[in-house]
A and B are shown apart, each in its own frame.
Chain A
């Protein structure tokens, strides 16, 4: 073949155009293939879950909420005040608590340090603060009826409102969006690994997680199980 005569050039150019068009046409199915997982998710997620955030193995992980690995959450509200609570996983792990011991208004919190305790069966389990700052309000309704955290952990079951001086720096240390979902998947995986085969049909074999899973895992030392997940 003569490399640069007119006919050779024309056929080479035609082939180049064909390759370019083929690239553009094939890129569409390729892109859909790479992103197929997300499309499948959208079909499965129910209407309620879409409104509240994605359900990951039955634990709610709403959008716009920042998570601390110790299963506390933080949401930035108007005026820069941060609302803080325990997440859905935490309340399902511990189940019904008889009391919640919250810090007083004016108390100082440090991110990653112990902030409040849950009491049940005369045992107390601490939880870590997701942010630094000063407590400006305490949810008295939760103190009087702790069951609220089980009913609506991200809404009426909030625990504290905190004024956070280093908000941006604090939020960088927390998980949100896809990272939070990925983290919750990992937590679920850890939970599955801890499941005892004698526990009955609860989770590993397709059942639903039960309230007070920690007690299900180890009735005598459920508080130690909870502490493992709460990092306290």
Chain B
């Protein structure tokens, strides 16, 4: 009897400490009532029924997709942009663990978490797009379509999600207080990082390779045999910029969790990441020019689509490249952060151009996403942000766990 009482008390304190952050249930619920949470609740209140409706009545009831336009906002935004913006995980992990740039380790865990959640919600987006969620493991365990690029993509996402989970495991195990398992998980980190870099290189480029199958559907300025390379190189830009944006926001939102010294470190880290991003953007700009030259499409630049292409090239590649370089040179951290936001927007524009705007550019049946598609996308992004916050508030992501200080 006494033992049962002790166990109940222990369970209760575990729930209070680990899940409710030391608050009583009533205090916890009261703490949840904030303007941000109310906005999130409103989005979920509308969005979750829309997602349920999609599963019950199919794509036709919710989306503006058709046989001509089978891929819409969910693939363009949730999958293509989600994967690109999750690239901070492998970019930072390879910088810190493989290239030995230890000064970037303070932003490594948030980057890995962003990467992991990015991929996780890519899968959620895919589930909503594909329907029949119970079939999602088929390419992995049952139906091997080895000649399909989709088969490649499915395996990459499955393996990379597993690898990112392993990379993030030390933080989960520190939170749970499982020291011995954490020691083993830490030993796996280098192997997981190497495997993760290989998978990401393949996977980011494989998403571009999907469009190699549609040479006549994609506008010639965006279609080039280099498109897998573009997707990979631009994912580096997305990853670096996303880490800058995410760390700036986290240091503002979760300010109380962070050692004041980390704020100083973050400025130096931001400048370093900004410099790397400017160099990658500079290279990417010339690669894009090579793509136009290779196809011999210079004259298309004078068409309306050509002008939009130039907006992407000048406004979202050349301009951030210069602004990053200028910001780093002047040690202007605010400018570097603003430029990172511009670069993130540029990646979104690029992926939407390739998958929606310049796709089926010459058919009369142009795709415009329906309201319910937009709501679903916003709901999935909101779920991602809420999950990120839930984890950061509990696990040692931005702060070091006191028992493991200095031994990451």
Segment 339-397 of B: residues with Cβ below 8 Å from A: none
List residues of chain B with CB within 8 A of the CB of A170: 406
A16 in contact with B406 (CB, 8 Å): no
Determine whether the beta carbon of A33 is less than 8 Å from that of B325: yes
Q: Which residue of A lies closest to B293 (CB)?
A: A15
**Least distance between B324 CB and chain A CB atoms (Å):** 8
B187 on the A face (CB < 8 A): no
User: Quick check: is B294 within 8 A (CB to CB) of the other chain?
Assistant: yes
- Chain B proximity mask over A14-56: 1 for CB below 8 Å, otherwise 0: 0110011011000100110111110000000000000000000
CB of B179 within 8 Å of the partner chain = no
* Stretch among A95-103, A142-150, A179-187 lining the B interface: A179-187
> Which one of A37, A168, A172 lies within 8 Å of B330 (CB-CB)?
A37
Q: How far does the Cβ of A16 sit from chain B's closest Cβ, in whole Å?
A: 5
Interface residues on A, range: 20 to 34
Q: Which residues of A contact B282 (CB under 8 A)?
A: 27, 30
**Given known A34-B275, A37-B331, contact A69–B290 (CB-CB < 8 A):** no
- Which residues of A sit under 8 angstroms from B406, Cβ to Cβ? 166, 168-170, 172-173
Known: A27-B282, A69-B261, A169-B405. A19 touches B293 (CB 8 A): yes
Please choose the segment from B19-27, B159-167, B263-271, B303-311 that sits at the chain A interface, where 4 or more of its residues have CB less than 8 A away.
B263-271
CB pair A173–B293 under 8 Å, yes or no, is no
CB <8 Å contact, B267 and A182: yes
* Pair A179/B264 contact, Cβ less than 8 Å: yes
Q: State in angstroms the CA–CA spacing of A170 and B330 once bound together.
A: 32
Query: Is A151 interfacial (CB-CB < 8 Å)?
Result: no
Contact A16 B294 (CB under 8 A): yes
> Contact partner of B290 among A8, A19, A179, A186, CB < 8 A?
A19
B293 close to A175 (CB less than 8 A): no
A3: interface (CB < 8 Å): yes
B 393-408 to A, binary, CB cutoff 8 A, 1 in contact else 0? 0000000000001110
* A126 CB, min distance to chain B CBs, angstroms: 18
B98 beta carbon closer than 8 Å to chain A: no
B279 within 8 A of A: yes
A179 to B262, CA, bound (A): 10
Contacts of B275 in A (CB 8 A): 34
A22 pairs with B286, CB closer than 8 A: yes
**Contacts of A155-189 to chain B: CB distance below 8 A:** 166, 168-170, 172-173, 175, 178-179, 182-183, 186
Chain B 103-133 interface 0/1 with A at a Cβ cutoff of 8 Å (1 = within) = 1000000000000000000000000000000
Minimum CB–CB distance from B224 to chain A (whole Å) comes to 12
Please state if B296 and A12 are interface contacts (CB–CB under 8 Å). Answer: yes
Interface size of B in residues (CB-CB distance below 8 Å): 28
Chain B residues with Cβ below 8 Å from A30 are 279, 282, 325
The answer to whether A1 has its CB under 8 Å from any CB of chain B is yes
Residue B278 interfacial (CB < 8 Å)? yes
Tell me whether B83 is interfacial, beta carbon within 8 Å.
no
Complex Cα gap A47–B299 (Å): 57
In the assembled complex, how far is the CB of residue A201 from the closest CB belonging to chain B, in whole angstroms?
26
Shortest Cβ gap from A101 to chain B (Å): 26
Residue of A nearest to B285 (CB): A23
Whole-angstrom CA separation of A31 from B330 in the bound complex: 14
- Given A19-B289, A173-B406, A178-B268, does the pair A33, B294 have CB atoms closer than 8 Å? no
Nearest-neighbor residue (CB-CB) of B266 within chain A: A182
Bitwise, B137-165 to A at CB < 8 A (1) or not (0) is 00000000000000000000000000000
For A15, list chain B residues within 8 Å (CB): 293
CA–CA, A175 and B289, complex, Å: 43
**Please, which residues of chain A bring their CB within 8 A of the CB of B264?**
175, 179, 182-183, 186
Given known A-B contacts A34-B329, A186-B264, A169 and B407 have beta carbons under 8 A apart:
yes
Is B283 positioned at the interface, with any CB of A under 8 Å from its CB?
yes
Cβ contacts under 8 Å, B243 to chain A: none
In the complex, whether B260 has a CB less than 8 A from a CB of chain A is: yes
Decide: B296 and A1 in contact? CB cutoff 8 A.
yes
Contact with A along B290-301 (1 / 0, CB 8 A): 100111100100
CB-defined contacts of A36 to chain B, threshold 8 Å: 329
Is there an interface contact between A23 and B407, defined as CB atoms closer than 8 Å?
A: no
- CB-CB under 8 A from B261, the residues of chain A are 69, 175, 183
CB-nearest residue of chain B to A168: B406
Q: Which residues of A contact B405 (CB under 8 A)?
A: 169, 173
A-B contact pairs, 16 of them (CB 8 A): A1-B299, A3-B295, A8-B296, A15-B293, A20-B290, A23-B283, A23-B286, A30-B279, A34-B325, A34-B329, A166-B406, A169-B406, A169-B407, A175-B264, A179-B265, A186-B267
Given contacts A35-B329, A175-B261, 4 further A-B contacts (CB under 8 A): A19-B290, A27-B282, A34-B275, A173-B406
What is the interface of chain A, defined by CB distance below 8 A to chain B? 1, 3, 8, 11-12, 15-16, 19-20, 22-23, 27, 30-31, 33-37, 69, 166, 168-170, 172-173, 175, 178-179, 182-183, 186
What are the 3 A-B residue pairs with the smallest beta carbon separation, nearest first? A169-B406, A15-B293, A23-B286
Name B's A-contacting residues (CB within 8 A): 103, 260-261, 264-265, 267-268, 275, 278-279, 282-283, 286, 289-290, 293-296, 299, 325, 328-331, 405-407
